[in-house]
Chain A
């Protein structure tokens, strides 16, 4: 054992530590174990920081020389896990202190569609869903979200959205992701949900045209309804300045108690307490192969998913003691 430690050297006094100090002199401490090292140098022989330091520097080198893989959607797995996930972790663990219920309903492999309610003026709920599953699911799966084209038009936002593995909401991309066995996350309410006034909170909006159900039926993958409580309170939209929204080309322009009064500071979301519940998976493989082309099946399934989310929202709201705890 002692021979393999590189900094040890033969010594006359067998009871002394075999290591060399930083100044080049032999260590004077008494050896405290069968490896012939003192307590200090045993730990130094394998400093706990060494691996992490090595990994961090290797990471920097890879980033500097472009030595990483990107998938066809622009997903940069390394950047997402190494840089973005820790930031998001602070938000879901400390800021919103999210309680995750029923995460086990998300299968550990194979395609699955997560359908969630959408709220909060800025789509923080989508970010939290994505990184929550990455952090807390036993398989640490990456949720690939479908987002509006606005997200990909904006500088920095679009770049980050693509790099963290998300793509534009369209049937082709959705189908491709599910066919590749990915976790797909959709928010069928879209802007109607995320940009609804505070007075409408926890009222599910119309679920689009059910395109997401078609995609799941076609891929014959399970649908997991996701109900997020707490996101409605992060940026209460009191008024929608439609004229301003038109000027900027945004779907809505929020006026909240803090925005735009406090400038960019007003965009800091309120640290409400969240509860995210994943419902029982709804199987789609019991329908016939071509059910995705049958509008009635699609409507029925859409309603079923929507009802499930609405009921779970109501139930969890009833049990909520306070917005903040």
Chain B
């Protein structure tokens, strides 16, 4: 008998792609996607159930579909589209509680996979440069998505204690980038002029959507209980990222950072949660050694190539192209050499 998988948040991009890749796997007998909206991707044999995970009916879905694997991807990073932070928190926290409660009752469930974020490590100048899975941030007060993610992880761990027969995997993803996926960070990069905090150059780390889908697929198909940092190799500084993408930026002095980000948020351009501001000051890097070792997985993209792949997705207009800079270099070099030679000759060849 093949594996029977339930995916929450099926309308999301990653969930859709995961379902798509599981469909083609002959050992996966059945895939069901739960969500409030239809999947954005064309799925063939994935059954779509329009349901709210906050609704106790979810238990019924779990029991009637007889799934053995639950992939919880209905965790929102931004309140956009659901009508505010209160709803977002409810979906994230109450939704996860309900879902895990349902899993606890569903005896066939053997595996729970949950999406989390490296943002749980915070971004603080008092923290180490690189986080391994067992480390925690020194900065306690957390807000927004970060706070939700910390709470959701806590529920997942206590669920794991109550159902020791179920393998629980928590996947802490770095910032997603790729040609298609949209996140607050990709929208930030797409601003006409990107504001940055003057005097700060945070370390950023990404994971490409293809690698993220592959990791999710492996977590479903293989046995990897535990907590993992999922991140590409390499680090890119914010200033470097903007240069790689040829994006214009404007440095903003620290006292103006919060008001400006508030204005951008109110304009509805980028829905950047306040907890993300710290990240754009101090940055954060997670150690991906455990992922590589236990999954035997080498990400196809580094932070840098992932970012470039996103930039190639044409949603980002380049201010200056790499070729143009190379041309400038050649012109300037030729000019300076000529001048040099002329000066040399004027000096009577001495």
Binary CB contact string for chain B from 326 to 348 against chain A (1 if under 8 A, 0 otherwise): 10110011001110111011000
Residues of A within 8 A of B128 (CB): 167-168, 170, 172-173
Q: Does A40 contact B (CB under 8 A)?
A: yes
Residues of B within 8 A of A70 (CB): 203, 234-237, 240
The residue that B243 contacts in the complex, of A22, A65, A72, with Cβ under 8 A, is A65
Q: Does A249 contact B (CB under 8 A)?
A: no
Q: What's the minimum C-beta distance from A47 to chain B, rounded to whole angstroms?
A: 6
The reply to whether B200 and A159 contact each other, CB–CB distance below 8 Å, is yes
Q: Does A68 contact B (CB under 8 A)?
A: yes
Binary CB contact string for chain A from 49 to 65 against chain B (1 if under 8 A, 0 otherwise): 11001100110110111
Residues of A within 8 A of B198 (CB): 155
Q: Does A21 contact B (CB under 8 A)?
A: yes
Residues of B within 8 A of A149 (CB): 125-126
The reply to whether A50 and B337 contact each other, CB–CB distance below 8 Å, is yes
The reply to whether B341 and A22 contact each other, CB–CB distance below 8 Å, is yes
| B246 to A, closest residue via Cβ | A65
| A167 to B, closest residue via Cβ | B129
Residues of B within 8 A of A44 (CB): 341, 344
Size of chain B's interface in residues, with CB distance under 8 A? 49
Residues of B within 8 A of A40 (CB): 344-345, 349-350
Q: What's the minimum C-beta distance from B323 to chain A, rounded to whole angstroms?
A: 10
Contacts A65-B244, A66-B243; is A173 near B325 (CB within 8 Å)? no
Contacts A22-B342, A54-B333, A60-B329; is A172 near B125 (CB within 8 Å)? no
Instruction: Identify which of residues 168-208 in chain A touch chain B, using a CB-to-CB cut-off of 8 Å.
Output: 168, 170, 172-173, 176
| A17 to B, closest residue via Cβ | B349
Residues of A within 8 A of B285 (CB): 72
The residue that A73 contacts in the complex, of B129, B236, B342, with Cβ under 8 A, is B129
The reply to whether A173 and B243 contact each other, CB–CB distance below 8 Å, is no
Q: Does A163 contact B (CB under 8 A)?
A: yes
Binary CB contact string for chain A from 29 to 53 against chain B (1 if under 8 A, 0 otherwise): 1000000001110001001011001
The reply to whether B130 and A73 contact each other, CB–CB distance below 8 Å, is yes
Binary CB contact string for chain B from 202 to 242 against chain A (1 if under 8 A, 0 otherwise): 01000000000000000000000000000000111101111
| A153 to B, closest residue via Cβ | B125
Residues of A within 8 A of B240 (CB): 66, 68, 70
The reply to whether A53 and B199 contact each other, CB–CB distance below 8 Å, is no
Once the chains are docked, how many angstroms separate the CA of A105 from the CA of B336? 45
Residues of B within 8 A of A66 (CB): 236, 239-245
Once the chains are docked, how many angstroms separate the CA of A153 from the CA of B254? 12
The reply to whether B332 and A168 contact each other, CB–CB distance below 8 Å, is no
Q: Does B135 contact A (CB under 8 A)?
A: yes
Once the chains are docked, how many angstroms separate the CA of A158 from the CA of B126? 12
Question: Which of the listed residues A53, A61, A156 has the most CB atoms from chain B within 10 Å of its own CB?
Answer: A61
Residue pairs across A and B with Cβ atoms less than 8 A apart, 12 shown, are A22-B345, A40-B344, A44-B341, A53-B336, A57-B333, A66-B242, A72-B203, A73-B130, A74-B235, A159-B199, A173-B130, A176-B130
Question: What is A's interface to B at a CB cutoff of 8 Å?
Answer: 21-22, 29, 38-40, 44, 47, 49-50, 53-54, 57-58, 60-61, 63-74, 76, 149, 152-156, 158-159, 162-163, 167-168, 170, 172-173, 176
